């Protein structure tokens, strides 16, 4: 069974994918992402930091987008 933290990670990654946040030009502000996924800004920051360590997102000036590694991982889930 998936844990709460893993569920939040998946939700955030799927939201970024749905929003086509795949590069700096299409990055999403953390506050907007929090509103979209229904989590607090602090929760989203915590998850984003973990996703950064895993190499799944880039964060620049409070804007976040998926890395190529994350896009491949998400694509493999749907195929």
Q: Would you state the pLDDT for residue 47?
A: 96
- Which tens digits make up the pLDDT trace of 23-57? 999 999 999 999 999 999 999 999 999 999 999 99
Q: Would you state the pLDDT for residue 4?
A: 76
pLDDT band for position 20 (cuts 50, 70, 90): very high
Helix axes of 68-78 and 4-18: crossing angle, nearest 10 degrees: 100
- What pTM does this model have? 0.87
Domains present along the chain, CATH in parentheses:
4-74 (1.10.10.10)
Q: What is the mean pLDDT of the chain?
A: 90
Q: Would you state the pLDDT for residue 72?
A: 84
């Amino acid at each position: 069974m998936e844990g709460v933290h893993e569920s939040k990670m998946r939700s955030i990654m799927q939201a970024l994918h749905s929003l086509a946040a795949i590069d700096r030009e299409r990055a999403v502000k953390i506050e907007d992402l929090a509103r979209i996924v229904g989590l607090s800004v602090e929760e989203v920051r915590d998850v984003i930091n973990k996703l950064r360590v895993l190499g799944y997102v880039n964060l620049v000036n409070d804007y976040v987008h998926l890395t190529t590694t994350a896009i491949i991982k998400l694509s493999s889930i749907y195929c």
